[in-house]
């Protein structure tokens, strides 16, 4: 046993294991090609192009014909500019590398968090693998990947400060939120634990003053007033940027949305049909157990911050599949937040060691990528198999007067591949709202209301997924004639009434 423990603490073995874990994460990203198969990635790309071209952030529904004058907040503008530059410099391969980098960044942030909280390499290594398997490959590398990274950093600082009583650890938070608010709207998820810690600390101190504080709760170590000031500084930092306070307006509008949550799969609750769902449930249970063990085990006290964090995060995360990370990351952090004695702690990796591991990961991914079709030709094939490439090429050779009517899923792609036709609808649910989404969803499913759909009625060209009921029923609609059809897409042109 002593020999095994000594072997596990050998530095080169640990670094090889870490490089192997990150290489496995990167290889999965290379094979899945999520960066170009994501339906929303294309409108993010076009918005980024627009921002670079105009040197401004849009405040209305650009690139849409049905919502062009509606107010809209480009709350992921930082991500979109980075994506735009990746494509401008390296084409589709640049998009793929950018998406892979984001995926690896999430895995690295989770490992950093667990390593720092636990002080034990193998616990952090194993728990990183389990945590990533629970949610990382269920979503596309969109702006919310930045939210995962920054949430892990924020939570690590909060738990360290809450453990040690050192408020100075949290002085980085306003700067983090300044960056976060210009990358993704889910900075609001990061404000939540900061505000929660401040509120619990304040409530406990009031309870102590009134002598009604439960003895089984862990006493607060951080000054409540300072935490409130820090929370206010974080909120102020989020309005520094071209969008000012408007992301909060978008958050409010999202809170009222209902229709999108009923039809978009990733916004629906877990179905427990996949391994990742059970991994999420396992992590959640283990996180609650770890918090309870503090009461039964070494601390003999219950941490109210961790308990409240896991409880509220569970309610949010189990409501939508896309938010699985919001419970998995806190649960993993609570499991790891049992600092080992100084003698049992593994020495932290140096910058030199981390750089060496990163170089090894890049080299291994470059070698293995040859067998994953992760290249321009592979991306072209993946895109042509999912999107209406042939249909758009037909329209380029045989132009049909607009305006365009399209189904929701392809709106973003058509923005990029057929920019001369402003789209009827795309994946920006916050722009179109429940009413417009409902109209288009009903029409593409050929419900009776499709006949009176004003956006379809005014269309000059209709481009639809061939599997949609609307694509089939329009064959008998006297307003349109079929001009193109393949297994992926169907195109109709408006019948022109001949002049006398």
Residue 1 has pLDDT above 80, yes or no: no
CA distance 260 to 438: 9
Mind listing the pLDDT tens digit for each residue in 52-72?
A: 999 999 999 999 999 999 999
Question: Which of these three, 323, 349, 375, is where a domain ends?
Answer: 349
pLDDT of res. 500: 41
Q: Which residue do the tokens 């006290």 mark?
A: 301
Count of domains for the chain: 2
Work out the mean pLDDT of the chain and round it to a whole number: 91
Quote the tokens at residue 98.
């950018």
**Are 253 and 341 in the same domain?**
yes
> Are 253 and 343 within one domain?
yes
Residues 107 and 158 in one domain: yes
Whether residue 104 is contained in a domain is answered as yes
CB atoms within 10 A of CB 462: 25
pLDDT tens track for 258-272 = 888 787 778 788 888
Helices and strands in the chain, H and E counts: 22, 4
Burial 361-379 (b: 16+ CB within 10 A, else e): beebbeeebeebebeeebb
pLDDT of residue 311: 96
What is the reported pLDDT for 214? 83
pLDDT at 70: 95
Q: In terms of domains, do 391 and 343 share one?
A: no
110 and 173: one domain? yes
pLDDT the model gives residue 368? 86
- Residue 109, pLDDT above cutoff 60: yes
Residue 340 pLDDT exceeds 70: no
Non-local CB neighbours of 370 within 8 Å, separated by 6+ positions:
none
**Is 5 part of any domain?**
no
- Do residue 312 and residue 392 come from a single domain? no
CB-side neighbour CA atoms (13 Å) of 38: 24
Distance CA 78, CA 48 (A): 8
Which residues fall within 8 angstroms of residue 145, CB to CB, at 6 or more apart?
Answer: 102, 103, 105, 106, 139
Residues 117 and 258 in one domain: yes
Write the DSSP symbol of residue 141: S
Q: What is the pTM of this model?
A: 0.94
Domain extent for 476: 387-494
pLDDT, residue 299, reads 59
pLDDT digits (tens, 9 = 90+) for 382-431: 899 999 999 999 999 999 998 999 999 999 999 999 999 999 999 999 99
Q: What percent of the chain has pLDDT over 70?
A: 95
Residue 315 in domain: yes
Residues 319 and 392 in one domain: no
Report, as an integer, the average pLDDT of 199-227. 87
Which segment of 8-12, 324-328, 441-445 scores lowest on mean pLDDT? 8-12
Beta carbons within 10 angstroms of residue 251's beta carbon: 16
Return d(Cα 216, Cα 288) in angstroms, integer. Answer: 16
Lowest mean pLDDT among 140-154, 293-307, 446-460: 293-307
- Is the confidence at residue 499, as pLDDT, over 50? no
Residue 146 lies in a domain: yes
Write down the pLDDT at residue 112.
97
Query: Which of residues 347 and 472 earns the better pLDDT score?
Result: 472
Least confident residue range of 127-141, 284-298, 347-361, 399-413: 284-298
Q: Are residues 131 and 181 in the same domain?
A: yes
In a domain, 102, yes or no: yes
**Whole-Å CA distances, 88 to 23, 91, 336:** 26, 6, 41
Same domain, 327 and 211: yes
Query: With the CA atoms of 201, 204, 205 and 211 taken in that order, what torsion angle do they form, in degrees rounded to the nearest 10?
Result: -170
């Amino acid at each position: 046993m002593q020999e095994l423990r000594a072997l596990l603490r050998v530095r080169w073995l640990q670094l090889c294991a870490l490089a192997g874990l990150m290489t496995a994460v990167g290889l999965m990203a290379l094979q899945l090609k999520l960066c170009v198969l994501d339906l929303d990635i294309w409108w993010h790309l076009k918005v980024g192009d627009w921002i670079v071209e105009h040197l401004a952030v849009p405040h209305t529904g650009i690139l849409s014909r049905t919502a062009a004058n509606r107010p809209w907040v480009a709350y992921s503008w930082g991500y979109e500019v980075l994506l735009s530059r990746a494509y401008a410099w390296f084409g589709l391969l640049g998009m793929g590398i950018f998406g892979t980098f984001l995926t690896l960044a999430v895995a690295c942030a989770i490992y950093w968090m667990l390593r720092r909280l636990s002080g034990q390499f193998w616990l952090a290594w194993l728990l990183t693998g389990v945590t990533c398997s629970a949610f990382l490959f269920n979503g596309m590398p969109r702006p919310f990947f930045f939210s995962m990274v920054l949430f892990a950093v924020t939570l690590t600082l909060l738990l360290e400060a809450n453990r040690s009583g050192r408020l100075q650890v949290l002085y980085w938070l306003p700067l983090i939120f300044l960056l976060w608010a210009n990358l993704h709207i889910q900075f609001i998820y990061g404000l939540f634990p900061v505000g929660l810690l401040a509120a619990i600390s304040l409530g406990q101190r009031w309870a102590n003053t009134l002598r009604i504080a439960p003895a089984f709760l862990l006493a607060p170590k951080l000054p409540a007033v300072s935490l409130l000031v820090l929370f206010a500084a974080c909120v102020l930092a989020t309005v520094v940027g071209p969008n000012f306070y408007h992301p909060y307006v978008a958050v409010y509008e999202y809170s009222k949305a209902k229709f999108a949550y009923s039809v978009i799969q990733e916004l629906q609750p877990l179905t427990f049909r996949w391994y990742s769902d059970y991994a999420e449930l396992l992590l959640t249970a283990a996180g609650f157990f770890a918090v309870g063990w503090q009461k039964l085990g070494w601390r003999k006290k219950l941490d109210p911050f961790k308990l409240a964090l896991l409880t509220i995060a569970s309610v949010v995360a189990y409501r939508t599949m896309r938010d699985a990370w919001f419970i998995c990351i806190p649960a993993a952090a609570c499991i790891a937040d049992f600092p080992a004695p100084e003698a049992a702690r593994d020495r932290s990796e140096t910058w030199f060691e981390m750089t060496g591991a990163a170089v090894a990961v890049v080299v291994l991914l470059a070698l293995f990528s040859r067998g994953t079709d992760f290249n321009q030709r592979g991306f072209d094939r993946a895109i042509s198999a999912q999107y209406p490439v042939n249909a758009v090429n037909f329209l380029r050779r045989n132009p049909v007067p607009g305006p365009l009517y399209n189904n929701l899923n392809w709106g973003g792609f058509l923005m990029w591949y057929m920019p001369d036709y402003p789209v009827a609808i795309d994946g920006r649910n916050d722009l179109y709202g429940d009413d417009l989404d409902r109209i288009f969803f009903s029409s593409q499913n050929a419900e009776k209301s499709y006949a009176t759909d004003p956006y379809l009625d005014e269309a000059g060209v209709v481009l639809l997924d061939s599997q949609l009921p609307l694509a089939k029923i329009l064959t008998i609609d006297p307003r349109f004639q079929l001009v193109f059809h393949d297994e992926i897409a169907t195109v109709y042109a408006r019948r022109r009434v001949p002049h006398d």
